[in-house]
Chains A and B, each alone.
Chain A
Amino acid sequence: MNGGADLGGMMGFGPVVPEVDEPKFHAEWEARVMGMVIALGAAGQWNLDQSRFARESLPPAEYMASPYYAIWLKAVTKLLLARGMVTEVELTEGRAMTEPVPVKRTLSAADVPGALAKGGPVDRPAETQPRFTAGGKVHTINIHPDGHTRLPRYARDKTGVIERIHGHHVYPDTNARGEGEHPCWLYKVSFAARDLWGERAHPSDRVTLDLWEPYLRPAE
C-alpha cells in the first residue's frame, strides 16, 4: 500500500542524527515489546508479511511520528485483537478475562536459543526455472495495491538490470493476505540512480532492490 512506511525518496525529515553510545534499548518497555513480538511468533497466529502489513497500515502521520518499538506495539496489539487472542477490555484492565484461543506453541525460555537459531527461512523448493538471467533488462510493473507489497513507490514503472538471482522465496503480496506463500523467483535488480531520480542523482550511482518475478517484465 502507499502508506507511511514507504518512505524512499520522501523529503523534509531533516538530517540523520546518530546517537553517540546509543543503548540497545531506550526504555525497558522497548525491550519487552521486542521480546514479546518475537516470542509471539511461536504462537503461529500470523506470518511475517501479515506482521509487516499491520505496521505499515497504521495511519501515515501516526507511523512517521511513532518511535519504532511503539509501531511494533501498535501493530502487534492490532493483530492480537483481530485474531481474538485478547480483548480491548483485557488490555485496559490488564488482566485475562476470556478463555485463550488455541495457539500453535508457547515459546519457553529453554526453546529460545533454538528458535532464534532456526529463524524463519523463506526460500522454498522451485519447480520452475527463473524467467530472467543476470544481465537482462527488466521493467517493473506499475501497481498501487491496497494490500501489502514490497515494490516501493519509487521503483515502480522503472527499467533496471538483473544483477543476481537470489533464489525462490515466499511471495509477500499473497502471504500477507493469507492466500498462501506462492513462492517465486527473487532477483537483485540494479537501477541507475538517474533512472529513478533524474538529473539530481550522481551519474555513477546505482540503487538495487530485491524484487520478485511478478513485479518484473522483460524490457528491450
Chain B
Amino acid sequence: MHDHSDHSHMSDIEARVRALETVLTEKGYIDPAAVDAIIQTYETEIGPRNGAHVVAKAWSDPDYRAWLEEDATAAIHSLGYVSRQGEHMQAVFNGPGQHHLVVCTLCSCYPWSVLGLPPVWYKSPPFRSRAVIDPRGVLADFGLVLPEGTAVTVHDSTAEMRYLVVPERPEGTEGWSEEALAGLVNRDSMIGTALADEPAEHAQEGAR
C-alpha cells in the first residue's frame, strides 16, 4: 500500500469515488448520512461475535442445536441477528470425520448478519477458484491439516442461502459458560478454514 505507483492508483480511485458520491448526493439519490450509518453499522455493530454467540449456544443447548439444524434462519433470528445477507440461513456442523468449508465461487456471498463483512481473501480469486477443486490445499494455506479419514464437504453459496459452519466444541471445555465458549469461536472456524480455539489459549476466561 505504500509504494508510489499504488498510491497514485488509489488517489485516482479515491477521486472517482468522491466525484460519484457528490453527483449522487446532489441529484438526491443518496444521503451521505445514510452512507455513514451503513458503514458505521458494519464497522462497529455487525461482526463475527454474532456468529460466535450462535455457535456457543448450539454447543451449550441441545434444543437450540436441533433448531439450528432444522431451521437456522429462525434460530439465528431468535437471537436478534436479523439483517441483510442473513435472510436465509443454513448451519452445517463439523463432527468427527466430517469437516465443512464455505465458499462463493461466483461472487462473494457471505453471512453478513453473523460474520460481518467478508475478509479480502474470501472474495479473491485464489480462494474462490481453489476451494471447490482443492479444499485440502486451501486448508493447508491456513495451516489446517485434517486427519486423512476426515471427509470435507464444500458448500458453494450459489443462491441466497448463507452458510454458517458450527465447528466442533473443543475438548476440555466442560462446564464453561456460553459466554466463555463464545470466546473460543474465531471467525475462520465459522467459514471452515480453521478450528475453534483450544481452551488452553483461553484458560483464564474459562475459569471465570
Contact = CB atoms under 8 A, between A and B. Distances in A.
Interface string B99-131: 000000111100001001101110111111111
Give the interface size bracket for B toward A: 35 or more
A114 to B, nearest CB: 10
Given A5-B106, A109-B34, A112-B38, A68 B123 contact: yes
B10 A100 contact: no
A141 interface: no
A68 B188 CA distance: 20
A94 B23 contact: yes
B49 interface: no
B61 to A, nearest CB: 23
A92 B23 CA distance: 10
B27 A208 contact: no
A121 B89 CA distance: 11
A73 B16 contact: yes
A111 interface: yes
Contacts of A77: 20
Contacts of B27: 85-86, 96, 100
B207 interface: no
A177 interface: no
Interface string A30-63: 0111111011100100000000100110000000
Nearest to A170: B160
Contacts of B129: 7-11, 13
B51 to A, nearest CB: 16
B21 interface: yes
A204 interface: yes
Interface in B115-157: 116-117, 119-121, 123-133, 135-136, 138, 141-142, 151-157
Nearest to B105: A8
Given A117-B82, A122-B87, A27 B20 contact: no
Contacts of B23: 86, 90-91, 94-96
A170 B27 CA distance: 31
A166 B35 contact: no
Contacts of B3: none
B85 interface: yes
Given A24-B42, A154-B133, 11 more contacts: A24-B43, A31-B43, A34-B117, A52-B106, A108-B33, A109-B37, A117-B82, A151-B158, A209-B156, A210-B158, A210-B161
Interface of B: 1, 10, 13-14, 16-24, 26-31, 33-39, 41-43, 82-88, 90, 105-108, 113, 116-117, 119-121, 123-133, 135-136, 138, 141-142, 151-161, 188, 193
21 contacts: A8-B132, A13-B130, A27-B10, A28-B14, A34-B38, A39-B30, A95-B22, A108-B33, A111-B34, A116-B84, A119-B84, A119-B113, A152-B106, A152-B158, A164-B90, A196-B133, A204-B151, A205-B151, A206-B154, A210-B157, A210-B161
Interface of A: 5-11, 13-19, 22, 24-29, 31-36, 38-40, 43, 52, 55-56, 64, 67-68, 70, 73, 77, 80, 85-86, 90-96, 100, 103, 106-109, 111-113, 116-123, 150-152, 154-155, 164, 166-167, 169-170, 172, 186, 188, 190, 193, 196-197, 200-202, 204-212
